[in-house]
Amino acid sequence: MRLHRKRRIRAKVSGTANMPRLAVFKSLTSMEVQLIDDAKGVTLLCSHGKKLKVKNDISGAKKVGEDIAKKAIAKKINKVVFDRGGYKYHGKVKAVADGAREGGLKF
């Protein structure tokens, strides 16, 4: 069912070089966030919970969001399109979005 929701979301959401897609992936052990330019099919930036050595909980997800925002601001990317990846918008996914907003990204 998640993959069905993911395809439905991806049909509507697309990223460009000026406004890349902020894609969220969560597993049982960590969170991963990528900024993707769909026009070229290139990942611009990524942030991973294991590289940051944070726990796989809501506070760790928020730190992953803040980290990707810091990297994006350094590359002069201010606006993004949020792709929740078929997950419900609550818990860790919402924490990633809140952390990215607090870091300075606009959705």
Confidence of residue 17 (pLDDT cuts 50, 70, 90): confident
The pLDDT assigned to 57 comes to 96
Q: What is the pLDDT of residues 32-84, one digit of tens each?
A: 999 999 999 999 999 999 999 999 999 999 999 999 999 999 999 999 999 99
Structure tokens, 54 = 């944070």
Backbone angles phi, psi at 97, to 5 degrees: -65, -45
Q: How far apart are CA 53 and CA 38, in angstroms?
A: 29
Give 64: exposed, middle or buried? Use CB within 10 Å, 0-12, 13-18, 19+. buried
Domains in the chain: ranges and CATH = 2-103 (3.30.420.100)
